[in-house]
Amino acid sequence: MDEISGKHQAGFCGGAGAAFDAMDPDQKVALVRALRWPLSASAGARSCSTTPGRPVRPLLVDPKNLPRRRALTTATGRFALLHALAHIEFNAINLALDAICRFPGLPDDFYRDWLRVAQEEAEHFVLLREQLRRLGGDYGDLPAHDGLWEMALDTAADPLVRMALVPRVLEARGLDVTPAMRERLLAAGDAEAAAVLERIERDERGHVAVGSRWFRHLCAQRGLEPDRTFKTLLQQRYRGRIQGPLALTARRAAGFSEPELDWLQNRIGQPAAARPEQACHD
Q: Which domain holds residue 233?
A: 71-281
Is residue 50 included in any domain, yes or no? Answer: no
Is residue 179 included in any domain, yes or no? Answer: yes
Is residue 272 included in any domain, yes or no? Answer: yes
Name the nearest CA neighbour of 91 among 144, 130, 143, 137: 144
Structure-derived torsion over alpha carbons of residues 164, 217, 125, 17, reported in degrees to the nearest 10: 100
Helix (H, G, I), strand (E, B) or coil at 22: coil
pLDDT in tens, the chain (282 residues): 222 233 333 345 558 988 999 999 999 999 999 998 876 443 334 546 788 999 999 999 988 888 777 789 999 999 999 999 999 999 999 999 999 999 989 999 999 999 999 999 999 999 999 999 999 999 999 999 988 899 999 999 999 999 999 999 999 999 999 999 999 999 999 999 999 999 999 999 999 999 999 999 999 999 999 999 999 999 999 988 999 999 999 999 999 999 999 999 999 998 886 544 443 334
Q: Report how many domains make up the chain.
A: 1
Burial class, 222, CB count within 10 angstroms (exposed 0-12 / middle 13-18 / buried 19+): exposed
We report the CATH number of the domain holding residue 159 as 1.20.1260.10
pTM of the shown model: 0.90
Phi and psi for 100 in degrees, rounded to 5? -65, -45
Is residue 41 included in any domain, yes or no? Answer: no
